[in-house]
Amino acid sequence: MKTMYTDDFPTREELLRLAEEAPEGDPRSWHYRREYPKPKIQWGAAILQFLLPVLLFAAACIFFRAAIWKLAAAALLLIYGILRFKALALFLIQLYQRLAPISIRERCRFEPSCSEYMRLSIEKHGACRGIRRGMARLGRCRTGDGGFDFPE
C-alpha cells in the first residue's frame, strides 16, 4: 500500500500560481465564468405528477372506512412513487438550480457543475445509479480541485 507524504501535495504558493496561470477556459481558473441557467419549472406538471397522487391517497384514506382499501391506496401510491422516482429527482434538481443562490452554486470548480452532472447522470444511468454517481461527484468537489468531468 502506497503511503502519501505531505511533500506529494503542492504548496499553497504553487496552488496560487497554478490558479493564476490557468487558461481562461479552465474551470479551475479564478477568471473562469460559468453560466448558471435557471430552468423554467413547469409548476402545473409538477402538481399533477407529485401532489395530485398524494391528495388522492389522502382522500381515499378519508372516504374509505375499511383498512384494506387504505392499504390498497398506500400500495398504489408507493408503486407510483417508485415509477416516478426519476422524474421526482430531476424535478428536485431543477428546483435547486432555480432557487439556490449563485454564491452557493459558484463554489463548484467542475464543468459541468455538480447539479448539472447529477441531472445528466440521472438521465443517462437512471435514478438510483445516477444519484449514486452524483453523490460521489459531490464528494470529489472541492474548491482546489476541478476541471472538466462529464458523466461516463
For residue 89, being part of any structural domain is answered with: no
Give pLDDT, residue 147: 75
Question: Does 141 or 137 have the greater pLDDT score?
Answer: 137
CA-based end-to-end distance of the chain:
28
CB 111 within 8 A of CB 151: no
Overall domain count for the chain: 1
Q: Percent of the chain beyond pLDDT 90?
A: 28
Give pLDDT, residue 20: 64
* H helical segments located in the chain: 12-21, 43-46, 52-63, 67-83, 85-99, 102-105, 114-125, 127-140
For residue 137, being part of any structural domain is answered with: yes
Query: CA 42 to CA 143: how far, in whole Å?
Result: 33
Q: In terms of pTM, does the model score above 0.75?
A: no
Give pLDDT, residue 39: 86
Domain with 128 in it? 103-152
